[in-house]
């Protein structure tokens, strides 16, 4: 997968790694090479531009992690930004009552029919009772192919004669599924060699007739920017709910995989990594990013670094505490760290004064409360955060207005903060470590 790109990244990182201290010029040189490598891999130029701008900004202003070498830090940032560009994992969204409709669309040869069978197999393993539907009436061979795949996997295939209209087939297939206890209908629609009006009109008509929960575009990753352009065109007409990238096992250069989400805004839901029916994987950005960078151990490395950061921050907090310098800014920092660590309601239990609240609140409500606290602290001046004693009535009114809360809520927060401060002073007595249980 992406051999050329992966090799380039490894060369770039190797060269960086041989230098002890990185200057800004070293980082710039590496970024220039990354830029070339991405463009050569057919990544969309706007995606390359945005990606590098983000990496550069972070690389320059990076906080120094003692447990990583400078080169490893650059790798870490590149990795994290690549994950962001690839988008979040996106499982199928089957919200209505069964049978759920999933419509596969795409150009001829993209791997649509194969993917329909793969998806059916995967969903059966997940407990669904799938029905495959052959709606490509223009290519009798496609219908036979689906039927053959269905037989091999022991998954029923709904088909009609070549004279039937695809919209009627789709409608009758849904009824058939309902009558026969199928929970999931996977529709293999007709593709064309190129996008044309007739195909789009037909797909729109099918969509209107069965109102599928998912409209997934199957695209061949080997076609690079063509895949991205096709996705844009399909999305404009059909409002796609997801993408399936096929043939990532082949010699795809990576351009489609890296650009397509950022350009279209449509999430990647699955990737095809071979011709066999079980070679369809749910899309996992972290996994794909570490494959692209060729760094299996990147994840472990970053995890360790993250732990080290938290330990450093905790030690710093402990130092502040022992000097009774714990401020509202530190409090906010703590809340931010907490939120990253979720699940909130459990963590809240550990916070003095919040345990009661946590038991009463749903995770969403707890999250709202946290956001509110953060908004209040954000509305204070740095001076006020360090020294809340100066908060008089008019300052409190200003803060309440700025954070969209009430003076009462501001007061409540201040009380809780004072409580916390007191508690921390008590706890630090006689102990070197950080008193908060959630830092362990």
Per the annotation, binding residues for GTP are: 106-113, 188-192, 246-249
Q: Are 259 and 43 in contact (CB under 8 A)?
A: yes
When CB distances to ligand GDP are compared, the closest residue is: 272
Q: How far is the CB of 115 from ligand GDP (least distance, A)?
A: 6
Q: How far is the CB of 217 from ligand GDP (least distance, A)?
A: 11
**Smaller CB distance to ligand GDP: residue 72 or 145?**
145
Q: Which of 110, 131, 177, 121 is nearest to 152 (CA)?
A: 121
Q: Starting at the earlier edge strand, list the strands of the sheet with 214-220.
A: 157-158, 130-134, 184-188, 100-105, 214-220, 242-246, 268-272, 280-282
Q: How far is the CB of 118 from ligand GDP (least distance, A)?
A: 8
Which tokens hold the place of 184?
A: 């999931």
Give binding residues as ranges.
106-113, 188-192, 246-249
Q: Are 237 and 80 in contact (CB under 8 A)?
A: no
Binding residues vs ligand GDP (CB under 6 A): 106, 108-114, 142, 191, 246-247, 249-250, 272-275
CA distances from 16 to 9, 69, 72 (A): 11, 10, 9
Q: How far is the CB of 200 from ligand GDP (least distance, A)?
A: 16
**Smaller CB distance to ligand GDP: residue 113 or 334?**
113
**Smaller CB distance to ligand GDP: residue 99 or 272?**
272
Q: Which of 153, 166, 229 is nearest to 203 (CA)?
A: 166
Q: Are 227 and 196 in contact (CB under 8 A)?
A: no
Return all residues near 148 (Cβ < 8 A) that are at least 6 apart: none
Q: How far is the CB of 195 from ligand GDP (least distance, A)?
A: 14
């Amino acid at each position: 997968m992406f051999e050329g790109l992966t090799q380039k990244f490894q060369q770039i990182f190797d060269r960086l790694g041989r230098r002890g201290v990185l200057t800004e010029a070293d980082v710039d040189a590496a970024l220039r090479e990354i830029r070339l490598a991405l463009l050569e891999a057919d990544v969309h130029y706007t995606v390359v531009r945005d990606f590098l701008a983000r990496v550069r900004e972070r690389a320059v202003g990076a906080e120094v992690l003692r447990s990583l070498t400078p080169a490893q830090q650059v790798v870490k940032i590149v990795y994290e930004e690549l994950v962001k560009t690839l988008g979040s994992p996106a499982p199928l969204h089957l919200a209505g009552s069964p049978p759920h409709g999933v419509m596969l669309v795409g150009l001829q040869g993209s791997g649509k029919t194969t993917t329909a069978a793969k998806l059916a197999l995967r969903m059966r393993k997940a407990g669904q009772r799938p029905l495959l539907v052959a709606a490509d009436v223009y290519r009798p061979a496609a219908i036979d192919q689906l039927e053959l795949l269905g037989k091999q996997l022991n998954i029923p295939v709904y088909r009609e004669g070549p004279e039937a209209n695809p919209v009627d087939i789709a409608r009758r297939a849904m009824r058939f599924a309902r009558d026969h206890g199928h929970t999931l209908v996977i529709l293999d629609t007709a593709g064309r060699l190129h996008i044309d009006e007739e195909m789009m009109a037909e797909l729109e008509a099918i969509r209107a007739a069965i109102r599928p929960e998912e409209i997934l575009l199957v695209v061949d990753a080997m076609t690079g920017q063509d895949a991205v352009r096709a996705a844009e065109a399909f999305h404009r007409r059909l409002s796609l709910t997801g993408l399936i990238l096929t043939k990532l096992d082949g010699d795809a250069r990576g351009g489609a995989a890296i650009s397509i989400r950022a350009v279209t805004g449509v999430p990647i839901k699955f990737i095809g990594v071979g011709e066999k029916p079980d070679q369809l994987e749910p899309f996992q950005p972290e996994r794909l990013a570490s494959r692209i960078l060729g760094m299996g151990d990147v994840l472990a490395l970053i995890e360790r670094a993250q732990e080290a950061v938290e330990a450093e921050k905790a030690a710093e907090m402990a130092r502040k505490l022992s000097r009774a310098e714990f401020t509202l800014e530190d409090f906010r920092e703590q809340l931010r760290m907490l939120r990253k660590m979720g699940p909130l309601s459990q963590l809240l239990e550990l916070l003095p004064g919040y345990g009661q609240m946590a038991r009463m609140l749903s995770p969403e409500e707890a999250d709202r409360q946290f956001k509110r606290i953060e908004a209040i602290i954000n509305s204070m001046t740095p001076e006020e955060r360090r020294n809340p004693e100066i908060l008089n009535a008019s300052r409190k009114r200003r803060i309440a207005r700025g954070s969209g809360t009430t003076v009462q809520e501001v007061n409540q927060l201040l009380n809780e903060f004072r409580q916390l401060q007191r508690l921390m002073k008590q706890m630090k007595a006689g102990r070197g470590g950080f008193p908060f249980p959630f830092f362990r």
